[in-house]
Amino acid sequence: MEKREKWGSRFGFIMAAVGSAVGLGNIWKFPYITGQAGGGAFILIYILLTVLVGFTIILGEIAIGRATRANAFAAFNGIKPGFGFIGILGIIASFVIVSFYSVIGGWILKYLSVYALGGSVKTDGFFTSFVSLPVEPVIWMLVFLAICTLILMRGISGGIEKVSSIMMPLLFILLAAIALRAVTLPGAGAGIEFYLKPDFSKITWDVVVSALGQVFFSLSLGMGTLITYGSYLDSRSDIVKDSVLITVLDTIVSVIAGFAVIPAVFAAGQTPDFGPSLLFVTLPHVFETIPFGHAVGAAFFLLVLFAAVTSAISLMQVVVSFFGETFRIKREAAVFIPFVCCAVIGSVASLSHGILGSISILGKNIFDFLSFFASDILLPIGGMLTCLFIAFVWTTDSACAEIKKGAKHGFKLAAFWSFLIKFVMPVIILIILLRVFGAV
């Protein structure tokens, strides 16, 4: 049997895991949700939930992966035969997320190409008329998927790790530079104030629930991504420290992305409550009004592309490792399975902004339905099952023993972590699910 691949270095693993976490969730969703939910107060709640829920589940998932060194399906089955279905759920969810993620990846490529060629997207109808076209967005989506597939063909250390180790540091630098530019624009002050000043009157149950959903999505939890990435670690790795780093870096990127987007939106005389079109409609107005706006726009969409690619490959790798290991197919062949499936579902999702727009499921078009189904239903269910599995099937004692291996300073929080996994997480996740089903 082929020897299982491993990460080349600790830095490489962290960049890959942060690459998975840092994605459209941070740069596209976080600023617009914060914009809609009244700024500072939302950020405080988000950070609290990240520390409590996010960190706890990250550590649990990486521990499952490292203990079993197997794909998501075999990992659950390896600990207790019969529980592989939790992994299968994650594999299905990964397909669904990549499908709509690559549609957005295609839009990003389009915007990047327009800015890089010195063009402009300033007309108001640009976004809506582009996304509803029958052919062009589908082609850009396929290009995005092809880029991801090519990276995955080169494997764990030669593909995912190498690309993440280059793209992530560049993303940090570009994002910091753009945020600095944004906060120093004339008129940005009102935006900074809005962003940082907590307005607790805007905090409703729905806002808390959406913050929790955002924690799951942003940290790539609940569908086997971190199990898969953890499975390429060896037992000398310090997964406590690594989980802290991944959580902190992902949160920092979200907060800085808010600084890059919200003050700029205020400076251009816009408001930050436009929802999903903030990045594609509101922000281009900003690029029109500032000096060297096209260069800034190109840099911005390049960094969003890096974020999207490193997240999409993490989701596709869940699928690749499952098919590769279960059916003993070579990696170069296994990568075509997610490519073809996501190309098909992604095309349908893309067309649902245009010619398939009349098809609606639960009152949503196909694209919105896929996003809702994966993020609001499959993700929390996956997270809940993972916690229950760790708590009552694997047992928190075995999990803590695994976590302690390689942890240089031990795992002082073992008792608290076990308590969270056993009692707090399932209840919190159940609340989200009830809320979601109540809303359907």
Residues that bind ligand TRP (CB under 6 A): 20-21, 23-26, 97, 217-218, 220, 222-223, 225, 311, 314-315, 379
Distance CA 47, CA 39 (A): 13
**Which of 7/266 has CB closer to ligand TRP?**
7
If one counts every other C-beta atom within 10 angstroms of the C-beta of residue 172, the result is 18
Residue 194 in tokens: 């809005």
**Which of 71/314 has CB closer to ligand TRP?**
314
Half-sphere exposure of 96 (CA within 13 A, CB side): 21
Contact predicate 76/86, CB 8 Å:
yes
Minimum CB separation from ligand TRP for residue 284, in Å? 21
Contact predicate 222/388, CB 8 Å:
no
Minimum CB separation from ligand TRP for residue 76, in Å? 16
Minimum CB separation from ligand TRP for residue 359, in Å? 25
DSSP 3-state of 99 = helix
Minimum CB separation from ligand TRP for residue 79, in Å? 20
CA-based radius of gyration for the chain = 21
Minimum CB separation from ligand TRP for residue 100, in Å? 11
**Which of 367/411 has CB closer to ligand TRP?**
367
Contact predicate 59/243, CB 8 Å:
yes
**Which of 414/432 has CB closer to ligand TRP?**
432
Contact predicate 247/56, CB 8 Å:
no
DSSP 3-state of 280 = coil
Residue 83 in tokens: 């529980």
**Nearest C-alpha neighbor of 414 from the set 403, 427, 428:** 403
Minimum CB separation from ligand TRP for residue 148, in Å? 12
**Nearest C-alpha neighbor of 307 from the set 2, 5, 7, 26:** 26
Minimum CB separation from ligand TRP for residue 227, in Å? 10
**Which of 18/290 has CB closer to ligand TRP?**
18
**Nearest C-alpha neighbor of 63 from the set 407, 319, 326:** 407
Minimum CB separation from ligand TRP for residue 307, in Å? 7
Helix ranges, 117-161 (H): 126-131, 136-153
143 backbone dihedrals φ, ψ, rounded to 5°: -65, -45
**Nearest C-alpha neighbor of 101 from the set 146, 141, 138:** 141
**Which of 112/215 has CB closer to ligand TRP?**
215
**Which of 314/418 has CB closer to ligand TRP?**
314
Distance of CA 158 to the CA centre of its chain: 22
Using the CB atoms, write b or e for 279-290: b if 16+ within 10 Å. Answer: bbbbbbbbbeeb
**Which of 315/429 has CB closer to ligand TRP?**
315
Minimum CB separation from ligand TRP for residue 125, in Å? 27
**Which of 214/237 has CB closer to ligand TRP?**
214
Distance of CA 211 to the CA centre of its chain: 14
Minimum CB separation from ligand TRP for residue 224, in Å? 8
If one counts every other C-beta atom within 10 angstroms of the C-beta of residue 372, the result is 18
**Which of 217/287 has CB closer to ligand TRP?**
217
DSSP 3-state of 361 = strand
